[in-house]
Amino acid sequence: MPRSINVAGVNVTLNPDAKESAGASAIGEKLKTEEWDIVAASEDFNYHSDLWNAAWNDGVNGGGLYSYNSTTHRGNISVNAQALARFARQQSPVFDIDGLCLFFRWNRVTPSNESWTSWNTHYGYTDDGADGMIDKGYRYYLVTLATGEEIDVYILHMDAETSAGDNAARDSQLKQLADAILSTHNGRPIVVLGDTNCRYTRDKVEENFMNRIEADERFTVHDPYVDIVMKGVCPSVGANSIMDQGSIAANRALHGYDYGEVVDKVFYINTTESGKRISAKSYKMEYSFKNDQGEPLADHWPIVVKMDIHDYDPAIDDKETTGGGLSGEYYIRNAYSKQYIKQGGWYDTQAVLGTYGSLMKLTRVSGKYLIQSPIGYLTQGDNYMDGSSQKMWSVALTSDRKTYNIKYGSGSSTKYLSGSTGKDYPYGSNKCALREMTTGSGSLQRWELVTKEQIMTEMMDNATETTPFECTFLLSGANFDRYDNTVEEWKGWPDTATKMTCNRSGGVTDIANGNPCAEVYCESYSGWTSYGTTWELAQTLSGLPDGRYKATMQGFYRDGEINKNNPGAQHARFYLRSGGAEEQTFLKSMYEAHCTKAPDETVENKDKDGYYIPNSMEDASYFFNAGYYENELTIMVNDGNLTIAVGKPVTTKTTSGWTCFDNFRLFYLGHPDYPDGVDVINADAEQKKYSERKVFEDGRIVILKDGERYNTAGQQIR
């Protein structure tokens, strides 16, 4: 491309970095050393013959396996009378050429059915990228591969620069190309490549091109940069640029050398109308594309994508895309409130926020995600967690590159999942249910995706006696949700145990914020051999970091039938056990609440002193929601094992003894020998030169000292 041209006394800068004839020849020579089947040129103007002569090198006659032929060249930038007349009228294009050309290995690829289409909209004439000077647009080819497969190929060059007008022009061009693809019924996979002048952080590539096409159920669109380099997560519009310059170099150690986003892009599109599928095997920026002096041969590094075309296989092609993106299991935590999404609320199936969360599974499908809870799919519009339909969500990084917007829809109809500033579940009201907002810019719309291992790391780093770290997520069935199958991890359920609240009517739990609870009711029937037999319900956790733990739970015991005058004896107990040690405490008496105001209008019973008392599981749930009947124990764990239990260890003569309990919570208080926490480091930490260092390995604290490994008891580990 010429560096600049002079039209009617007006100097127009085209490409000040252009190396012109010598550069074009060097590019052609370099192509012959590569194994690229097709190459899209976006600014192939005045030096096409130099490039082609070097790349062709007598092609077939010379037997060059890597020789390149080219499709139609539409001419040079040449100032003639016609161009001057069009320039005087400010009529676009001044030069009726597009600068596009497809170079292809003659013995591997055969293009045909060439057509070219101008963009409907552009912005700028001699400024703002001088887009009005040439006939920018896209070209189409039917490409037949040497193996016989056929694909559709589009090459393009879009509007340049970054003014509002340029951005709007590219929005229009993305839609125009998407609509052209949507109108096709060729029954072939599609490849789109070229200089888009777009960045995901600046342009609505996902909304106006990818999502627009995928709205047609025939198509799935992939960008190998997103799939492979960004692990399936599209950068968000408005986020900080991730260009390959400056500070981005520091990210390469974490993300790889191709991390920086560039405007040249390659998309591939599969269609259900074809028996073939394309998949990307690799993506890279070819930084070796230099001349003998080590200078770049072009002002853009080539983007090289290796692709495979194969017969459609549902077992492979209907699964996640390359890299899987964020596919995996996470706890979803609000970045502002630090509360987690969990099931609860009305019917115990709403998505609410709590101090610990439900483990959620993200599965990537065609660039979006299914979000699955332990009881179903996260729904849209009402945010229940037991949905049967598989609604697709976009999960996109925000500008801080650490948190995500979780959203669905497009354009003005986009809805963002939002947190709440309501009270913690299970003690709060429905204020803690999730909401949907029309903007993703607020702090409540930012979410963290954290794995169990990451939370364990935070726990080890931050827990102290004065700042306990909640780790209830390690405990299964902690609050006896009706649809939580993990409550069966509590072993020893007696025949008369109930694991859900009583229903006010018709099977629908009409209780504030849901919050089912559990009970053991001892009577003289149902196979019991004596009144008030012994029982214990327990759960053992293993692989815990050593240190001090605090467990709390809500629960009470009533000795016999309700007796407003004589509370009776205490028999039910709460236990913690570890390494042969045991801590225990009697559960609160049902009569200890001293509640002067009923926690719900349906609670009617009072004791002899006029205090409200529960007389059903439904009543108990209201008391638990209000924070009554809290029990607490603390224990030291030295072997990684902790048993949490509730039970009645003695046989009583009293009929109708009632134990009701709920809302177990577990906290880590750190290790008393390491009040500043424990460092979590990589497996090669032992090679680092520390005289003594604490690390977290396989759920245990290990002390590295003088090249040896010790446990917290000072015993050497071999």
Mean pLDDT over each residue of the chain, to the nearest integer? 82
Predicted local distance difference test score (pLDDT) of residue 565 = 67
Predicted local distance difference test score (pLDDT) of residue 500 = 65
Checking if the pLDDT of 115 tops 80, the result is yes
**CA dihedral in degrees (664, 667, 672, 673; nearest 10)?**
120
Greater confidence (181 vs 20) lies with 181
- Band of the pLDDT at 4, cuts 50, 70, 90? low
Is residue 563 within 8 A of residue 718, CB to CB? The reply is: no
Residue 338 sits at φ, ψ, to 5 deg, of 65, 20
Greater confidence (118 vs 366) lies with 118
Residue 191: its H or E element: strand 190-195
**Of 82, 113, 111, whose CA–CA distance to 97 is shortest?**
82
Greater confidence (397 vs 111) lies with 111
DSSP state of 714: S
Residue-wise pLDDT for 341-396, tens only, equals: 988 776 678 888 888 999 999 987 767 889 999 889 999 988 888 888 888 898 88
The pTM assigned to this predicted structure is: 0.62
Q: List b or e across 54-80, with b for residues whose CB sees 16 or more CB atoms inside 10 angstroms.
A: bbbbeeeeeebebbbbbbebbebbeee
Predicted local distance difference test score (pLDDT) of residue 66 = 73
Residue-wise pLDDT for 134-147, tens only, equals: 999 999 999 999 99
Q: How far is CA 127 from CA 131, 134, 163, 197, 328, in A?
A: 8, 13, 11, 16, 48
Q: Return the percentage of the chain with pLDDT > 70, whole number.
A: 80
- What end-to-end distance do the CA atoms of the chain give, in Å? 67
Greater confidence (346 vs 229) lies with 229
Checking if the pLDDT of 529 tops 80, the result is no
Predicted local distance difference test score (pLDDT) of residue 696 = 60
Residue-wise pLDDT for 471-520, tens only, equals: 999 999 998 877 787 888 999 988 777 776 543 333 334 444 456 789 98
Q: Under 8 Å CB-to-CB from 658, ≥6 apart: which residues?
A: 519, 520, 521, 522, 557, 558, 590
How many C-beta atoms surround the C-beta of residue 17 within 10 A? 10
Greater confidence (322 vs 550) lies with 550
Checking if the pLDDT of 694 tops 80, the result is no
Amino acid identity of residue 399, one-letter, is S
Distance, in Å, from the CA atom of 613 to the CA atom of 603, rounded to the nearest integer, reads 8
Predicted local distance difference test score (pLDDT) of residue 705 = 72
- Band of the pLDDT at 677, cuts 50, 70, 90? low
Predicted local distance difference test score (pLDDT) of residue 250 = 54
Q: Are strands 535-541 and 708-710 parallel, antiparallel or unpaired?
A: unpaired
How many C-beta atoms surround the C-beta of residue 382 within 10 A? 11
Distance, in Å, from the CA atom of 417 to the CA atom of 648, rounded to the nearest integer, reads 45
Q: What is the set of domains in the chain, with CATH numbers?
A: 4-317 (3.60.10.10), 328-448 (2.80.10.50), 469-668 (2.60.120.260), 683-717 (no CATH)
Distance, in Å, from the CA atom of 66 to the CA atom of 29, rounded to the nearest integer, reads 10
Give the SS3 label for residue 144. Answer: strand
Checking if the pLDDT of 67 tops 90, the result is no
Token pair belonging to 394: 């976009």
3 state SS for 50-91: HHHHHHHCCHHHHCCCCCEEECCCCCCCCCCHHHHHHHHCCC
Q: Which of 531-535, 607-611, 648-652 has the highest mean pLDDT?
A: 607-611
Q: What is the largest CA-CA distance in the chain?
A: 113
Checking if the pLDDT of 319 tops 80, the result is no
- Band of the pLDDT at 697, cuts 50, 70, 90? low
Checking if the pLDDT of 550 tops 70, the result is yes
One-character DSSP codes across 543-605 = SPPSEEEEEEEEEEEE-SS--SS-------EEEEEETTEEEEEEPEEGGG--BSS-SSTT---
Predicted local distance difference test score (pLDDT) of residue 168 = 95
Predicted local distance difference test score (pLDDT) of residue 29 = 86
